[in-house]
Structure 1
């Protein structure tokens, strides 16, 4: 055997030795016949839903007045607004929040005949003044909402409010309901993974990853006096019962589980 042939044989032996020797770095090495561990995972989604009773409410109350002059419209709206605020305060409801959110004054144009083509600028025949209040009652409990809801709206209407929105029920602390929904979603994902593993005749070993999706909070709304324009002076005041519906909170998770055959 020539020197050149011996040299090539020696190099080949060294290369084979380097491939077959494991690397002792504290992390087990993968052999050539080991498959990627990502192939041994199952990914499923889980849905969580909880129904909880609301503990808070909000509503919008407006006082609308029309008059021939701007000063008169403002005076009537201002007077009725003060009456409404005093009536709400007179209910002696602890933690009832009343605040002004908008005040508007607009001219009332004369109605123009139709089909006359070009017309002159319409004549101003009066003015409308409107004051809008936001009323909220937070963290009082389900039964308190049933009792205080009608009292709030009836007091406002009786004192001069003539446009009242419906009652909107909500949660003062939605995070707690969110956490309950998350726990239900994770449990649902685990149940789904067990079904998949059973159908595939493999054994689950544990979680690999879990990610959360967008949370949905669906609040019931009462159409009580909704967008209805009432006459002032209390002639339209009716004591309607209030039954707040439950609030549905939903969430979704995506989870991956390791398994072995």
Structure 2
């Protein structure tokens, strides 16, 4: 008859004590996602625009661009756009090359660009701001991005609706499975992509184009796990 050493006996005892803990599983639950949306008209807009200038030398291109952009900024100020609502978004100075497939291309000039992002606090004035830009000499008009300033408060309403939607779905599954819902075990909110900006348009196309603001749709998606118990 073999005898176990005290160390082996201790290891065996620990293993037996740990076995029930290892055998434990997560409590039974139903996990579903809830969704909700809130649609509201935007009350803010961002317009991207600026000036590009070309010249034979880098200095000439920069000077021409600075002068042209100065006129644009003065026009925006005259249109009652506050300085705090105008922010430089891009400055660039790049060489321009002659087409040459046989070897290295020669530099034939330079292109300077200065672009700004303008915050428009009255969305009804977006078309007027674009006309001001183009009329002052802006030859680059980028996207128009409509936004909602109080999005967080509006999303709170959607969050409540999303949790209610999750409960509705969970109750359907519970009835079908012959169980009842208990308390929620976990609630997590999934990331939501921001609204996409309008597509880029050439300055000549925008000057006389109407701008439709439409509505912004704010959405929330939550994942909720509900404890379940057997129906009595």
The normalised TM-score by structure 2 is 0.76
Equivalences, count: 207
Aligned to 1:221: 197
Distance in 1 between the 2:156 and 2:176 partners?
31
SS at match of 1:161: coil
Instruction: Kindly report the root-mean-square deviation, in angstroms, between the aligned alpha carbons of the 2 structures.
Output: 2.7
Deviations 1:198-226 (A, max 9, x none): 2234444x423231132314415333xx2
For the pair 1:126 / 2:100, whether they are aligned, the reply is no
For the pair 1:161 / 2:138, whether they are aligned, the reply is yes
Distance in 2 between the 1:37 and 1:81 partners?
64
* Higher CA-based Rg: 1
For the pair 1:192 / 2:169, whether they are aligned, the reply is yes
SS at match of 1:166: strand
Runs of 4+ in 1 over 4 A off after TM superposition: 93-96
8 Å Cα contact 1:217-1:248 kept in structure 2: no
Aligned to 1:68: 56
Post-superposition shift, 1:133? 1.0
For the pair 1:244 / 2:214, whether they are aligned, the reply is yes
Q: Measured at CA, do residues 96 and 90 of structure 1 come closer, stay the same or move farther in structure 2, by a change above 3 Å? A: farther
Distance in 2 between the 1:37 and 1:239 partners?
60
For the pair 1:181 / 2:158, whether they are aligned, the reply is yes
Q: Measured at CA, do residues 75 and 217 of structure 1 come closer, stay the same or move farther in structure 2, by a change above 3 Å? A: same
Deviations 1:156-184 (A, max 9, x none): 11101101112011222332233222211
Aligned to 2:45: 57
Give ranges in structure 2 of 5+ residues lacking alignment. 1-24
Post-superposition shift, 1:260? 4.2
Give ranges in structure 1 of 5+ residues lacking alignment. 1-35
Q: Measured at CA, do residues 42 and 240 of structure 1 come closer, stay the same or move farther in structure 2, by a change above 3 Å? A: closer
Aligned to 1:104: 92
Q: Measured at CA, do residues 102 and 38 of structure 1 come closer, stay the same or move farther in structure 2, by a change above 3 Å? A: closer
Structure with greater helix share of residues: 2
Q: Measured at CA, do residues 173 and 95 of structure 1 come closer, stay the same or move farther in structure 2, by a change above 3 Å? A: farther
Which residue of the other structure, out of 188, 203, 211, is the alignment partner of 2:187? 211
Distance in 2 between the 1:210 and 1:48 partners?
18
Distance in 2 between the 1:130 and 1:37 partners?
60
Aligned to 1:38: 27
